[in-house]
Chain A
Amino acid sequence: MGIELKKITKRVGAETYIYETDLSVEKGGFNILLGTTLSGKTTLMRLMAGLDRPSSGEIWFDGNNVTGVPVQKRSVAMVYQQFINYPNFTVFNNIASPLRVSGISPSEIKQRVEQMAELVKLTPMLQRFPSELSGGQQQRAALARALIKDAGLVLLDEPLANLDYKLREEFRDELPKLFADTGATVVYATSEPLEALMLGGKTATLHEGRVTQYGPTAESYRQPNSLLSAGVFSDPPINTAAIDKKGDVFYLTEAVNWPVPPPYARLPDARYVIGVRPHHLLVGGTTENAVKVNGIVQIAEISGSQSIIHVDVEGNSWVSESRGVHPYRVGDVVELGVNVERCFYFDINGERLLA
């Protein structure tokens, strides 16, 4: 069952935050909302939580229509980008606060809080105040508060965005495990494709108030259904260019062309769009099937053993992500290999031409 959004929209004034959306999230799963800032992740979460009412459409939770039900009457817990704890409660009382409302005996509260603290590794911190904790510990306390509530729906709104790199890695490992046993439906918003891939579960890609694709995370990444989904789920952004099919050949320009791969052989001759992930655009052109293109270097960044080179390829701004250190200067001409077998092909409206 889980949570179902049925034809919901959200408008505020003249602006549309969420266009008509259907999304059915299964019970107990770990789900990711992936999209850039302003793509509608938070709006969608607020609708799921019941903090806002949709402008139209219905929201169902575990088989009940909860559209007009206010948030405090639903079984919802939420964790935010900011570390939200009660400032003048100790960690113990912070974690205990959802239980106190429900009138559980003090001895049981103590036992459950201690158990929860153990789980999120806060046992030595229980008597401290939130301001005496590190950012990671504050977020752990907030997580514990969400977990202990035993809510049917847990919403995590970019919970790791304010943490440093090391802590984020630690949390990414832990989070799915923490929630796996609770049976709660988890919805996790992030703007980082890499984070989505590491968390697993299912991913819904969002673009400007529309859910463009929803499915198992790895599959969504490998098989984007449209240019928009591929764009959301690619960092650095996916490279695109218009190509023309004439007979058995795709032409980027007259000089740069390659035979149409077998799955696309039956397509009518027309204009299409090719999508090349940055790590399929390699310096030097390594594999046999690679089509060689020349790029004029715009920016070259070297991060450790990776080279990220922004190039102008036949008038398109492309990014290449290659292994190894390739120092280039602005204006250099570099030969790149496009792995045309692993590219995505879209029609001119951005719909994936499924192989």
Chain B
Amino acid sequence: MNDRTANPRAWWFVLPVLVLVAFNALIPLMTVVNYSVQETFGDNVFFWEGLKWFEQVLNSDRFHESFLRQLAFTGMILAIEVPLGIAVALSMPRKGPWVSVCLVLMALPLLIPWNVVGAMWNIFALPDIGLLGRMINGMGIDYNFTQQPVAAWLTTVLMDVWHWTSLVVLLAYAGLCSIPDAYYQAAKIDGASAWAVFRYIQLPKMKRVLTIAILLRFMDSFMIYTEPFVLTGGGPGNTTTFLSIDLVKIALGQFDLGPAAAMSLIYFLVVLLVCWIFYTLTMRNESQ
């Protein structure tokens, strides 16, 4: 039999996606690649530089510092938001009129734009006029996030926890709701403790959604820009200058387009690499 699997007209169906992906991803990415290997002084004059910018970025202390800061921040975010999100999801009601109330309350922070969140927390935490700032100072604790690195970090982390724990809660809650009641009954009949129910039923059953939650929170927090930019502007000094804030400073502040482009690509590859490792590990776990 003649396999007529090739039909050139099929390309027309793929074309819209190709165009979309080209304009959306490929062309901007190639522009960045273009900048990363050349020097430009404006007027569209370019000089070939090879891998010079990449070497410069990878060897610079500044990049190392913001990279470590970024890792520390993301680590803290995951360590706080994931367990906290699970805990909140576990304590939410499973049925009744309070379900929708809880869900709406949980969804609220997610609906607020990033820069608004930053501005809100900025005002909220200001030591002289902010509710939080004044309260802490009123308790006799010297707190000023615009001057103290530790306070700036605490405020940034707290802001992110406030903004994004809900996402973990909602995902974990969805996972919990998909567990048939019979599992709980079976556990009850077995005389399982609350911890055993969590460890052997709820956690394994939530594994998939938690994987998604961790991945999303990793990517978002690793690429965080707007909120710390509005809250602290990367300060005091450079103490809350995370990767993307640093990147913007180099690209738009100093107008060093070459190093900025090289840094963007390294940044992009790191995110891609971590996601890939994460994905591979979970898929391997899944198939076991």
Contacts and interface: CB of A to CB of B under 8 A. Distances in A.
A80 B186 contact: yes
A49 B180 contact: no
Interface in B185-228: 185-186, 188-191, 200-201, 204-205
Contact of A84 (B183, B204, B288): B183
Contact of B188 (A51, A87, A97, A98): A51
Contacts of A81: 182
B190 A98 contact: yes
B189 A86 contact: no
A76 B186 contact: no
B200 A88 contact: yes
Interface in B161-185: 180, 182-183, 185
Interface string A50-86: 0100000000000000000001100011101110101
Given A72-B191, A84-B180, A101-B191, A78 B204 contact: no
B111 to A, nearest CB: 34
A328 interface: no
Contacts of B188: 51, 71-72
Nearest to A97: B190
A71 B189 contact: yes
Most buried by A among B185, B189, B190, B204: B189
A280 to B, nearest CB: 39
A81 B181 CA distance: 11
Contacts of A87: 201, 204-205
B189 A76 contact: yes
A51 B185 contact: yes
Contact of A78 (B180, B186, B205, B288): B186
Interface residues of B, number: 14
B143 to A, nearest CB: 44
A38 to B, nearest CB: 16
A41 B250 CA distance: 70
A72 B190 contact: yes
A49 B189 contact: yes
Interface residues of A, number: 20
Contacts of A71: 188-189
Contacts, number: 42
Interface string B40-80: 00000000000000000000000000000000000000000
A87 B180 CA distance: 13
A82 B182 contact: yes
Nearest to B201: A86
A84 B189 contact: no
A179 interface: no
Nearest to A72: B191
A89 interface: yes
Given A51-B185, A72-B191, A77-B189, A89 B180 contact: no
A3 to B, nearest CB: 15
A16 to B, nearest CB: 20
A84 B191 contact: no
Contacts of B191: 72, 101
A126 to B, nearest CB: 16
B202 to A, nearest CB: 10
A82 B182 CA distance: 7
Contacts of B204: 86-88
A71 B200 CA distance: 19
A76 B190 CA distance: 9
Contact of B200 (A89, A98, A101): A89
A101 B190 contact: yes
Contact of B180 (A82, A86, A101, A129): A82
A138 to B, nearest CB: 13
Nearest to A73: B191
A78 to B, nearest CB: 5
B178 to A, nearest CB: 12
Interface in A71-130: 71-72, 76-78, 80-82, 84, 86-89, 97-98, 101, 129
A84 B200 contact: no
A287 B249 CA distance: 98
Contacts of B201: 86-87
Contacts of B186: 78, 80, 84
Contacts of B288: 129
Contacts of B205: 87
Nearest to B191: A72
Contacts of A129: 288
A101 B188 CA distance: 13
Interface of B: 180, 182-183, 185-186, 188-191, 200-201, 204-205, 288
24 contacts: A46-B185, A49-B185, A51-B185, A51-B188, A71-B189, A77-B189, A78-B186, A78-B189, A80-B180, A80-B182, A80-B185, A80-B186, A81-B182, A84-B180, A84-B183, A84-B186, A86-B200, A87-B204, A88-B200, A97-B190, A98-B190, A101-B190, A101-B191, A129-B288
Given A80-B182, A86-B200, 17 more contacts: A49-B189, A71-B188, A72-B189, A72-B190, A72-B191, A76-B189, A80-B180, A80-B186, A82-B180, A82-B182, A84-B182, A84-B183, A86-B201, A86-B204, A87-B204, A98-B190, A129-B288
By Cβ-Cβ distance, the 3 closest A-B pairs, closest first, are A72-B191, A80-B182, A87-B204
Interface of A: 46, 49, 51, 71-72, 76-78, 80-82, 84, 86-89, 97-98, 101, 129
